[in-house]
């Protein structure tokens, strides 16, 4: 805390100290032929020596502009406007010339022919194209052989998180396109982590409307923050790519390649990667988790995204790619082209083989009854997946079109786990100890198809569309569970429980959703939207369990208690109406949907069948309001309601005894959840001065929330049953502010996240109300003190406090601090050096869990061969050999600390080769004004 306060104080002091010794330039952009000022011109300030970006702004309605906080130096100023030829000014600021007044700056109308000179266009670092912010990639320097992710980190208003997630203007980027087309489907990381930065000419950031909204012309709330990568002209006329390979200590290796051939509308790419260094090049998607695939279709609301999304559930399940030891093999092909004159075809195939190996140490402090649980678990999982995606958009005529999208996924998994565990009572006596071993083999596939038919009428705004989404999933597998648990009584009497079972299971899902939408223009700038939707989803799960037979050494004794056949059907019909109005300053939409839903379940267990039927009738209101203070300043409030049905694992009344001390039960009497959500987004952006302020707040209240009911016996066995409760809500938010620091040639970003949860749980028939508050402020300073040096400094902390209504339960509090620094230096003669250090301090963690973790990496590289096509790189990872992955979880009845083994110190020597001689641009292609005498 003191360190962060000191950093804020030093920053404020330096800003005050240096602001007194900086310069100013001002002027008026003028058209002498029309004898009037030119409003809205873009003024870009660059260093004269290398044309690197310093700052930029926009002229006001009177053509005036002013840039403050300039250091001494030589500058070049570029003035650009969509209707005028670019013009440039050279000037210097020193101790005698702190204020530069250029007065009237003359621009020439593009409609006027210049008889004396020919001006070739120069791209400003940042331009505005309607609602799109466009960055000139050549104005932002990156190290040789950098990828697109490294380039995005340099762009004003764009942030790349540690896991590779990209945010632009405070919103998560959902799609990354290449020249307007998808690149390996909907996985943004494949483009950002595999395409070379030197192939990019422009980076465009905008909100991509849904297919229906593009047809009606009104934003329906389903827009996605999108980045479009425009390639350099020479990259569109041939092939480019890169191959790299490396080997290091501890049998570490990594290799990757990407080969691209682009020509006009045709895009062809092949990429591959292999490593055991935890290097990530794509997002993991678990097709075996298909039971939640159609959750987004269940609410029947007015705005439903009909694409099936599985956003990294496997990475979350396995602890992410930063923990454990991960071996990855992957590769794929992407092809896009215009077929004939009416069909836009896009298709890709991607294969991945992911093998994470984990050792997890867990210490869990239970509150009621008070005991301490310790576990050490070893997991070795192997996941093979194939993903095939394609879509074809056929323009029948100017009024009719049809778009067909299909996704086919196939996955095989082989997972093994072994663990040692022990539970102690509050006074230190042993309650139980034991060991277990589990294995599971499974394979599954999913096929989803989306068909969208669109029709426009002659009357503007009158449209009709039909969307059909179908999903067919299937999986089957087998496994075994073997455990021995010893239980101790106060008299030190020992009893044992042995489990030795094998099981087979099969699951399937079939779903279809139809949605009709008709829009009719009413009044001025207003639309009425009528929707009708119907959906049918059927889940089935069949599990057969056999006990081990000592007489013949086989698993042939049927266990009726753990054998079950469950079938669940969910269907609904929804009708709705909504009024939308849009103007230059504001837009709003309001409406409601009437939903009639049915959940029907059939349980077959032994010789007895049981049937469960639940009917629901809900009104689902929705509203959205957005006000635009200016082109880059707006606020949006969105209110929505949704229902969510229980998953099949929550409904199926069969115990899961994989962990003999944590038995999960099913509850066929669960009701569906009903959630009200209010979201607020505020964006205050000045892209010309590189200042931005973003606010995001989300409040959700859920009726019939599904939570756990824990029953813990005197032997330490926790039996968990899902039940419905009311009074559950959560608040989630994030604030961020970024601004430039000119005297440091850098920028500062200050942000903070906040989370508040209020809920009810049950432990041994006692109702327990839980309140959790988490805050996480962060500050980061990026600067380029010289052309060849880049430095980043950062500090953050996360504070969490969980309190319970049961007075005998203690508060669960913890604090995590993190400090980081990064530096990149161009040493001359093709040498480059970079290093980064992260120092993490964990307070109030359990004994035996490291409280201070430094992580230090460094890289030294040398460009070689003709045209600098080659790069020889030496990497040192985790130099101090201290890398550790720690986490803390505060639940309704315990606090849990976990430590996962991590990849530690190794050294790697690698070589990269660019397949084109112009491959390493390193920001040198920034354009320029070339004048040719006539």
Please give the biggest Cα pair distance in the chain: 106
Angle at 269 between CA 265 and CA 273, to 5 degrees: 160
CA-derived radius of gyration, the chain: 30
Q: What is the pLDDT averaged over residues 178-192?
A: 83
Query: What tokens does 516 get?
Result: 């009709």
26-40, 389-403, 600-614: which is most confident:
389-403
pLDDT of residue 1: 45
CB 855 within 8 A of CB 882: yes
Tokens 């935890």 correspond to what residue? 278
pLDDT of residue 933: 27
Nearest to 352, CA basis, from 379, 387, 376, 378: 387
pLDDT of residue 219: 55
Burial grade of 458 (CB within 10 A; 0-12, 13-18, 19 or more):
exposed
Specify the length of the chain in residues.
934
What separation in angstroms does the CA of 909 have from each of 195, 273, 859, 876?
22, 17, 10, 9
pLDDT of residue 208: 80
- Residue range 701-730, pLDDT digits in tens: 999 988 888 787 767 677 888 888 898 999
Distance CA 64, CA 79 (A): 12
Q: What is the pLDDT averaged over residues 146-159?
A: 80
pLDDT of residue 384: 94
Query: What tokens does 58 get?
Result: 């926009």
Q: Could you count the other beta carbons within 10 Å of the beta carbon of residue 659?
A: 19
Query: What tokens does 471 get?
Result: 């999903």
Nearest to 347, CA basis, from 285, 294, 273, 408: 408
CB 357 within 8 A of CB 325: yes
Three-state SS at 186: coil
Phi, psi of 860 (to 5 degrees): -125, 125
Residue 819 confidence class, pLDDT cut points 50, 70, 90? very high
Query: What tokens does 28 get?
Result: 């008026």
Residue 377 confidence class, pLDDT cut points 50, 70, 90? very high
Three-state SS at 640: strand
CB 153 within 8 A of CB 822: no
By percentage, how much of the chain surpasses pLDDT 70?
82
pLDDT of residue 402: 95
pLDDT of residue 295: 36
Give the rounded distance of the alpha carbon of 440 from its chain centre.
Answer: 29
Residue 930 confidence class, pLDDT cut points 50, 70, 90? very low
Distance CA 77, CA 123 (A): 12
- Residue range 249-276, pLDDT digits in tens: 999 999 999 898 888 788 899 999 999 9
Distance CA 5, CA 353 (A): 46
Q: What average pLDDT is seen over the chain?
A: 80
CB 539 within 8 A of CB 507: yes
Query: What tokens does 768 get?
Result: 């327990």
Tokens 């310093």 correspond to what residue? 54
By percentage, how much of the chain surpasses pLDDT 90?
29
Q: Could you count the other beta carbons within 10 Å of the beta carbon of residue 614?
A: 17
pLDDT of residue 166: 83
Nearest to 712, CA basis, from 768, 796, 635, 674: 768
Distance CA 67, CA 54 (A): 10
pLDDT of residue 364: 84
Nearest to 173, CA basis, from 148, 141, 198, 197: 148
pLDDT of residue 886: 80
Q: Does the N-terminal peptide bond of residue 272 adopt cis geometry, omega within 30 degrees of 0?
A: no
Residue 534 confidence class, pLDDT cut points 50, 70, 90? very high
Q: Could you count the other beta carbons within 10 Å of the beta carbon of residue 739?
A: 15
Nearest to 330, CA basis, from 451, 459, 187: 187
CB 562 within 8 A of CB 535: no
Three-state SS at 924: coil
Distance CA 32, CA 63 (A): 13
Buried b (16+ CB within 10 A) or exposed e, 122-143: bbbbbbbeeeebbbbbbbbbbb
* DSSP per-residue string spanning 501-519: EEEEEEEEEEEEEEEEEEE
- Residue range 221-241, pLDDT digits in tens: 567 788 899 988 888 887 888
Q: Is the pLDDT of residue 551 over 50?
A: yes
Residue 598 confidence class, pLDDT cut points 50, 70, 90? confident
Q: What is the pTM of this model?
A: 0.76
287-291, 367-371, 547-551, 810-814: which is most confident:
547-551
Residue 412 confidence class, pLDDT cut points 50, 70, 90? very high
Q: What is the pLDDT averaged over residues 834-851?
A: 78
Tokens 């006009």 correspond to what residue? 264
Tokens 């790069």 correspond to what residue? 871
């Amino acid at each position: 805390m003191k360190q962060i306060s000191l950093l804020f104080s030093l920053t404020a002091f330096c800003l005050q100290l240096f602001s007194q010794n900086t310069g100013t330039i001002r002027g008026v952009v003028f058209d002498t032929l029309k004898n009037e000022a030119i409003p809205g011109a873009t003024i870009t300030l660059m260093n004269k020596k290398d044309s690197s970006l310093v700052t930029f702004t926009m002229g006001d309605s009177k053509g005036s502009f002013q840039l403050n906080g300039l250091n001494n130096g030589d500058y070049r100023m570029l003035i650009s406007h969509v209707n005028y030829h670019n013009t440039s000014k050279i000037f210097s600021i020193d101790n005698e010339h702190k204020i530069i007044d250029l007065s009237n700056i003359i621009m020439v109308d593009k409609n006027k022919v210049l008889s004396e000179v020919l001006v070739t266009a120069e791209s400003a670092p940042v331009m505005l194209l309607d609602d799109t912010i466009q960055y000139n990639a050549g104005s932002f320097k990156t190290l040789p052989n950098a990828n697109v992710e490294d380039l995005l980190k340099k762009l004003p208003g764009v942030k790349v998180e540690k896991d590779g997630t990209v945010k632009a203007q405070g919103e998560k980027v959902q799609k990354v396109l290449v020249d307007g087309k998808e690149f390996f489907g909907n996985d943004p990381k494949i483009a950002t982590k595999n395409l070379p930065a030197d192939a990019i000419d422009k980076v465009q950031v905008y909100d991509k409307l849904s297919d229906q909204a593009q047809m009606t012309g009104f934003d329906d709330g389903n827009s996605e923050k999108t980045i479009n990568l425009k390639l350099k002209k020479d990259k569109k006329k041939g092939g480019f790519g890169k191959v790299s390979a490396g080997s290091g200590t501890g049998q570490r290796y990594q290799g990757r390649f990407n080969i691209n051939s682009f020509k006009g509308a045709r895009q062809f790419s092949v990429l591959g990667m292999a490593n055991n260094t935890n290097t990530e090049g794509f997002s993991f998607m678990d097709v075996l988790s298909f039971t939640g695939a159609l959750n987004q279709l269940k609410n029947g609301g007015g705005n439903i995204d009909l694409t099936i999304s599985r956003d990294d559930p496997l990475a979350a399940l396995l602890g992410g790619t930063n923990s454990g030891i991960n071996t990855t093999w992957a590769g794929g092909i992407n092809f896009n082209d215009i077929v004939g004159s009416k069909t836009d075809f896009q298709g890709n195939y991607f294969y991945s083989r992911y093998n994470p190996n984990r050792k997890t140490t867990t210490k869990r402090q239970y509150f009621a009854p008070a005991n301490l649980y310790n576990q050490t678990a070893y997991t070795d999982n192997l996941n093979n997946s194939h993903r095939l995606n394609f879509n074809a958009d056929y323009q029948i005529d100017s009024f009719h079109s049809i778009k067909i999208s299909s996704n086919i996924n196939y996955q095989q998994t082989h997972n093994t786990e072994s663990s040692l565990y022990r539970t102690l009572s509050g006074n230190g006596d042993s309650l139980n100890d034991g060991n277990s071993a589990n294995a599971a083999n499974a394979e599954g596939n999913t096929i989803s198809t989306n068909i969208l038919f669109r029709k426009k009428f002659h009357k503007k705004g009158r449209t009709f569309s039909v969307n059909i989404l179908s999903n067919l999933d299937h999986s089957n597998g087998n496994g075994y569970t073997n455990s021995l648990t010893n239980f101790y009584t106060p008299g030190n009497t020992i009893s044992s429980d042995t489990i030795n079972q094998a099981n087979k299971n099969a699951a399937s899902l079939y779903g279809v959703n139809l949605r009709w939408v008709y829009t009719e223009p009413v009044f001025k700038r207003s639309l009425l939207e009528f929707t009708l939707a119907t959906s049918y989803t059927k889940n089935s799960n069949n599990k057969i369990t056999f006990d081990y037979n000592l007489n013949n050494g086989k698993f042939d004794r049927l266990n009726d208690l753990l054998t079950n056949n469950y079938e669940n059907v969910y269907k609904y019909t929804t009708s709705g109406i909504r009024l939308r109005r849009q103007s230059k300053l504001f837009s709003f939409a309001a409406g409601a949907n009437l939903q009639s839903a049915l959940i029907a379940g059939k349980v077959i267990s032994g010789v007895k069948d049981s049937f469960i039927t639940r009917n629901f009738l809900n009104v689902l209101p929705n509203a959205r309001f957005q006000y635009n203070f200016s082109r880059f300043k707006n606020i949006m409030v969105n209110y929505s309601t949704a229902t969510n049905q229980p998953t099949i694992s929550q409904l199926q009344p069969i115990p899961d005894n994989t962990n003999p001390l944590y038995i999960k039960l099913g509850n066929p009497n669960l009701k569906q959840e009903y959630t009200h959500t209010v979201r607020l987004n505020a964006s205050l952006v000045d892209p010309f001065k590189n200042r931005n302020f973003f606010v995001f707040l989300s409040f959700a209240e859920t009726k019939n929330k599904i939570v756990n009911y824990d029953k813990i016996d005197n032997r330490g066995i926790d039996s968990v049953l899902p039940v419905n409760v009311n009074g559950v809500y959560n608040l989630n938010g994030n604030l961020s502010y970024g601004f430039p620091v000119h005297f440091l040639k850098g920028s500062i970003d200050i942000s903070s996240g906040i989370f508040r949860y209020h809920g009810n749980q049950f432990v041994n028939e006692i109702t327990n109300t839980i309140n959790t508050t988490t805050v996480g402020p962060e500050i980061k300073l990026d600067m380029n003190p010289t052309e060849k040096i880049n430095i980043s400094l950062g500090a953050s902390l996360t504070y969490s406090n969980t309190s319970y209504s049961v007075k005998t339960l203690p508060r669960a509090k913890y604090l995590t601090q993190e400090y980081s620094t990064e530096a990149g230096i161009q040493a001359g003669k093709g040498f480059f050096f970079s290093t980064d250090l992260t120092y993490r301090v964990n307070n109030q963690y359990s004994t035996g869990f490291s409280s201070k973790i430094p992580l230090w990496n460094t890289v030294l590289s040398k460009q070689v061969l003709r045209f600098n096509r080659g790069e020889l790189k030496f990497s040192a990872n985790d130099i101090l050999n201290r890398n550790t992955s720690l986490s803390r979880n505060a639940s309704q009845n315990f606090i849990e600390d976990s430590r996962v083994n991590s990849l530690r110190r190794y050294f790697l020597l690698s070589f990269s080769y660019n397949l084109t001689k112009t491959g390493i641009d390193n920001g040198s292609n920034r354009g320029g004004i070339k004048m040719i005498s006539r």
